[in-house]
Structure 1
Amino acid sequence: MKTEHYTRSLALPFVLALTATLTACGGSSSGNDGNLQVGEDTKYVAVIATAASDYSSGEVELAELDKEDITASGGYFSTISDITVNAYGENYYLIEKFNGDSIKKVNVSEPAIATWDYSTLAAGDEGSSNPYKLVFVSEEKAYLLRYGASKAWIVNPSAATESEFRIGELDLSAYLPEDTIGAPNMSSGVIANDKLFITLERLDSNYQPTNTAYVAVFDTTTDLEIDTNPESTESLKGIPLQGSNPARIEHVEGLGLTVVNRGAFSSPFTGTGLDIVNPETYAVSSLIADEDIATQINSAVFVSPTQAYILNYSGWQNLALQRFNPAEGVSSLEDVADLTGGDFRALSLSPEGTLWLGDANTNAQGIRILDTTTDEQVDFVETQLLPIAITFLETEK
């Protein structure tokens, strides 16, 4: 077990690392990881993953929500720029992704100290495991999605030693397509109705989403894969998606499982859209279909079955925040305020119901906080580096 203290680096080397694999990693919002409950005795803290504009470094900044003027503190754990954050209870987890291959657990009461720092590589792993997300069942059980590997890990986030961290695995090698980069590319996951749903991009050898994307489903009690269509002759047990290159899956009460499909990485963005998956019947429908939109849906947040927001990507550093009614679909899309043509890299709904937009425009970098009733900006949280992912944790006041 490693317990270390990290401080901000004052002199960071310039290393520009925009490879095809990093492009495939994508990124946006971590959300609140589905475990927060608003209460009078609870304090909420935003955990913000940030990155340098030249991709030379990354770090974590924290912001308390119950302040009149919210400010960010940090940064903590200066590291690579390809990072994200997840949270559960009073702890957040810093995930160092491509070639970082590690996770740090941090209690919010000691924000500069890692409770533990564990590797995401197993003996015999070749290349980077590229960890993407922790999906929590409890304090003692979570699923670690590894984008660069064929096996997700079942882990114990409360493990006192690294040898006790990995307690099992889910084998997703059946989803390797014939034309593959060597992994099924598990990109996101969510738990609903005691089932784990994992999105699989299945990129081809040119890092393009030409293969059918799937959602694999596992019973969280037995950790066995569920055959979602036992009468089909298809050899794969999972759910084939209508869109391609899924980046995020979320459970929205009253709507189902929403899947953000980015489609192709460049124009004409073939395969982008929003799919809806019924968590019981596994039926798939399209909320916004590929043919209905010419741009790329980069991220989405759902306030309710009748109110949602997307980051609509037209090109590099050219995104628009748009609001729409899922009951009406693409016809209801409309720009929010003047938030168009910007470099927006994160979108998340706070436990208080405000919308947090990560603005990576270097002349005004930080978090724009919007009232979802009026769409007006109610606060701005300046960050030292560019915000790339946001999650929320809860602690006692």
Structure 2
Amino acid sequence: MTPSDHFSFRKTALATLVLSLGLTGCGGDSSSTPLKPVVTKDYGIVATAADDYTAGEVELISVKDSDMTASGGYFSGISDITVNGRGQHYYLIRKFNGDQVLKVDIENPAKEVWDASTLEAGDQGSANPYQIVFASDSKAYLLRYGKNEAWVVNPSATQAEDFFTGETLNLEAYMPEDSIGAVNMSSGVVVDGKLFVTLQRLDSNYSPSNQGYVAVFDTATDTEIETNANAADNLKGIPLKGTNPSGIQHVEGIGLVVTNVGAFSAPFDGTSLDIINPQSYQVSSMIADADIDTQINDAVIISNTQGYILNYSGWQSIALQSFDPSVGAASLTTINDLSGADLRDIELSPQGRLWLADASLANPGIHVIDISDNTEADFIETSLLPITISFGSVVSDR
């Protein structure tokens, strides 16, 4: 999953009102022109792929209460892609052997603002960029799964050459003795001025036999923080209870929730939902590995008593399940018979509804779930298979 995204809003200018009052006081026209109302339109941004994985593209959805439709696709290219939205723009990331980030204005969806490489001069092999983690409108971090350095980037850049600032976060210390040549940074989130980055640390057989970690950086100085989470190791970060972390999110009242996929095949050893206290860095379990015999692919946690997971039991056999985080795995319940399907991603929309990417060949699209009663509020057909969901917003005075 892609951690929860942030949405930026512009404040309405008051110059028209001030000028109007000034003219009235000076004997001008006593009639005043009312301020135009600010309108915010939210958009779903969906990365999609062909069923044979020969192509991928982006489809956009104007968010409404019902009867939503997808438009596009845009930017046809490789199928190994993801999207990260922020405000009026989204960033299309072409991952393994794509090594590219495209910045796109939602209001001009067919033309990129710029496209930037995710490789430095002299880089060998793919950087395999995974996610842009935003600290602000002008500062973010590009996680590069195939390298040991995350990039410090400027997402507000107006040209490609200004995207990469030249600064990096070095994670090489987390390289295990048996590795695939990179620490496999897979997801991140910024909380209270700190960047938390999950590290899978796969072995040379691409198996999660090594301890998963979360590295922590001060976003003001970009220096790594010594968490002292484990006095017995020589690493500054936080060792996880599960292995193979794939996502991290911050939930008020709970802390950081890390989704650990664990082993890629049954018996799925190491799968779990771990909780990290973002101040003390202590780790506990929301769903422990011992409590579940299937695999947790993705999670959205709403509150202390409401959460959702994608529960994988076999190839293209995934269920959307709700649960009570205060109870754990014993409360898992399948929703709306959504099981035995190829479900790829779950995200919470700005309106507080759950969006589910259903990549089933017979009828691909997005299920929109009302979390108040778990009923399906809408289904949005997509042309290709939906694989990743993000959101953006356009604010205007028209």
For the criterion TM > 0.5, the same-fold answer is: yes
**Long gaps (5+) in structure 2:** 12-37
Whole-angstrom distance in 2 between the partners of 1:267 and 1:230: 30
Whole-angstrom distance in 1 between the partners of 2:270 and 2:197: 19
Whole-angstrom distance in 2 between the partners of 1:200 and 1:187: 6
Out of 127, 146, 149, the position equivalent to 2:147 is 149
Whole-angstrom distance in 2 between the partners of 1:101 and 1:38: 32
Letter aligned with residue 248 of structure 1:
G
Per the alignment, in what secondary structure is the counterpart of residue 138 of structure 1?
A: coil
Structure 2 match to 1:133: 131
Letter aligned with residue 176 of structure 1:
M
Percent of pairs identical after alignment?
57
Q: Displacement, 1:30?
A: 2.5
Q: Structure 1, residues 324-361: CA drift from partner, whole Å, max 9, x if none?
A: 01111111111112111111011111010111111111
Q: Displacement, 1:231?
A: 8.0
Whole-angstrom distance in 2 between the partners of 1:248 and 1:182: 21
The structure number with the bigger radius of gyration is: 2
CA RMSD of aligned residues (A): 1.6
Structure 1 match to 2:361: 362
Count the aligned residue pairs.
369
Whole-angstrom distance in 2 between the partners of 1:36 and 1:261: 30
Distance 1:227 1:31, change over 3 A: closer
Q: Displacement, 1:288?
A: 0.5
Per the alignment, in what secondary structure is the counterpart of residue 105 of structure 1?
A: strand
Equivalent positions of 1:186-205 (< 5 A) are 186-205=185-204
Whole-angstrom distance in 1 between the partners of 2:273 and 2:359: 24
Whole-angstrom distance in 2 between the partners of 1:88 and 1:317: 31
Structure 1 match to 2:248: 249
Distance 1:349 1:231, change over 3 A: closer
Structure 2 match to 1:54: 52
Q: Is the 8 A contact 1:185 1:202 kept in 2?
A: yes
Distance 1:341 1:77, change over 3 A: same
Structure 2 match to 1:21: none
Whole-angstrom distance in 2 between the partners of 1:183 and 1:193: 28
Letter aligned with residue 379 of structure 2:
F
Q: Displacement, 1:31?
A: 5.0
Equivalent positions of 1:104-143 (< 5 A) are 104-143=102-141
Structure 2 match to 1:170: 169
Matched, 1:281 2:294: no
Letter aligned with residue 146 of structure 2:
G
Whole-angstrom distance in 2 between the partners of 1:369 and 1:36: 23
Indicate the larger mover: 224-233 or 283-292: 224-233
Structure 2 match to 1:394: 393
Letter aligned with residue 369 of structure 2:
L
Q: Displacement, 1:160?
A: 3.2
Whole-angstrom distance in 1 between the partners of 2:10 and 2:367: 21
Q: Is the 8 A contact 1:31 1:392 kept in 2?
A: no
Q: Displacement, 1:171?
A: 0.2
Q: Displacement, 1:235?
A: 1.3
Structure 2 match to 1:34: 6
Whole-angstrom distance in 2 between the partners of 1:281 and 1:362: 45
